[in-house]
Amino acid sequence: MKLLLSFLFLGFIGATSAQVATVSGKVTDNATSQPVVGAKIIFSDNHKAISDFDGNYTIKDVPFGEYSAVITMLSFDTTRFTINVDQEKFFYDIILGGSQEIEEMNVIANIAQDRKTPVAVSTLTKKEIIEELGSQDLPMILNSKPGVHATQRGGGDGDARITIRGFDQRNVGVMIDGVPVNDMENGWVYWSNWFGLDAITSQIQVQRGLGATKLAMPSVGGTMNIITENTGGKEKLR
């Protein structure tokens, strides 16, 4: 009787120990087929691993069963999948996608750059625009700045003309948030295409004379950069 109980006990221990597996595999990049180094593979709080230099990973003493695995790696989307561990030596290769997510960025170009030679730059703030512009076209506010002359013909919106140091709009580089808006053929600026721009302008920078811009644009007389306001939206929890 004792001998039978001993065999049953040993059999129970053997059956119990057989329910633990060693999970291993390789993590590769789907786009380049190269091994991914430093990927974190998580089966549970007590069963996790990090891929080595060759992309290989090993997790020991994983009990048999179904797991919701999570794989995280910098510059890759977090990958989740369900895996059923049912063998003592369980192999599972992981392929990560090549997408990359970054936070939204707001890029604003300023025409005024640090330089050793002097440069004539004037800046109009939002406050000045509100106080001085009124119902005029946006370029008309520049009459208060030295070397700049703006006129308005016909009385309609968008009929304004701007001259900097004697050069008309064909030789003045006009940008909105750093993007040139001069006509590609003749260099002219059609202000009628930008109706309502004054309502969203936060700052105007005017550089008189040749500037340091690297853009291929007609900026012999000067450069004008109109910086618009950001959306002002804030992320809210739903």
Task: Indicate whether 212 pLDDT > 90.
Answer: no
pLDDT in tens, 53-88: 888 999 998 999 899 889 988 777 888 888 898 888
Tokens 């006990």, located at residue: 9
Same fold, 20-96 and 120-228: no
pLDDT in tens, 90-133: 999 988 875 444 455 555 555 444 445 556 777 888 888 887 77
Pair 117, 50: CB distance under 8 Å: no
Q: Domain 20-96 has what CATH class?
A: mainly beta
Global confidence as pTM: 0.44
More confident residue, 230 or 236: 230
Q: Can you give the residue ranges of every domain in the chain?
A: 20-96, 120-228
Tokens of 161: 């003309």
Please tell us whether the domain made up of 120-228 is placed in CATH 2.40.110.10.
no
Dist CA 11 CA 96 (whole Å)? 42
Q: pLDDT tier at 25 (50, 70, 90 boundaries)?
A: very high
Q: 152: which residues sit within 8 A by CB, 6+ positions away?
A: 136, 137, 140, 159, 160, 161
> Which of these ranges, 17-21, 69-73, 211-215, has the smallest mean pLDDT?
211-215
pLDDT in tens, 197-209: 878 888 888 888 7
Ramachandran class of 166: left when φ > 0, alpha when ψ lies in -120 to 50, beta otherwise: left
At 98 the pLDDT is 54
**How far is CA 162 from its chain centroid?**
35
